[in-house]
Amino acid sequence: GDKAFAQFLTDEIKEEKKIQKHKSLPKVSGGWELEVHGTEAKLVRKVAGEKITVTFNINNSIPPSAEEETQEEQKPDEQEPDLTSTPNFVVEVIKDDTKQTLVLDCHYPEDEVGHEGEEESDIFTIREVSFQPTGESDWKDTNYTLNTDSLDWALYDHLMDFLADRGVDNTFADELIELSTALEHQEYIKFLEDLKTFVKCQ
């Protein structure tokens, strides 16, 4: 059984490498520096007395519904649909002269497809906003967290503009999907390779 499994993995790895779009990770425009630790990625950018970091994790970042619908309609010889990774991401804005960090929790809405008609529709939304003490790794649940569900839309628009002024806009969100998808695929291939080594190990 293990031999067949290893052979299957070898073929699978070959296939995945064939469809791999990016041999190296795509860059995000606008002077963002990328740090990757396993499945977590961090983009950092410094602008006039501020440091902006965007953190996301590729685990569970591929929406599940996409696969189920297409399998029934798929003809056997069709290419599998491209899986896209749309992770939640957290934007932290740190101003040099305050002890507080503004934290904005953003995500890609699942029903994002089909908005073609609407011009200027944002491809990501802000879900929560809070202040956290700068430099502390553990966030306090006791800090007030603003949920945007019931938020005054004018305030929400200002928050979106605030992010856009710092380079977090639709273009950025598009490039983040691209980066995250490439990173997810890279990790998936690495996982298959590790699995193969593990299965072959006597």
Domains, in order of start, for the chain: 29-60+83-110+120-183 (3.10.280.10)
Q: Is the dihedral of CA 147, 58, 85, 178 positive or negative?
A: positive
What residue has token string 């970042």? 61
Amino acid at 106: C
The pLDDT score that the predictor gives to residue 80 is 54
Burial 89-101 (b: 16+ CB within 10 A, else e): bbbbbbeeeeeeb
Reading the block at residue 117, the tokens are 């008609």
Residue 119 predicted with pLDDT over 60: no
The pLDDT score that the predictor gives to residue 120 is 56
What pairing do the DSSP bridges indicate for beta strands 50-57 and 145-147? unpaired
Sheet holding 89-95, edge to edge: 33-37, 40-47, 50-57, 89-95, 100-107, 125-133, 145-147
Contact between 166 and 93 under an 8 Å Cβ cutoff? The reply is yes
DSSP H helix total and E strand total for the chain: 4, 7
Q: Report how far residue 172's alpha carbon sits from residue 154's, in angstroms, rounded to the nearest whole number.
A: 22
pLDDT tens digits along 37-53: 999 999 999 988 899 99
Q: What is the pTM of this model?
A: 0.84
The pLDDT score that the predictor gives to residue 72 is 43
Give the rounded percent of residues in the chain with a pLDDT score beyond 90: 61
Q: Which one, of 9, 13, 178, lies nearest residue 83 by Cα?
A: 178
Q: Average pLDDT for residues 98-119, to the nearest whole number?
A: 72
The pLDDT score that the predictor gives to residue 1 is 83
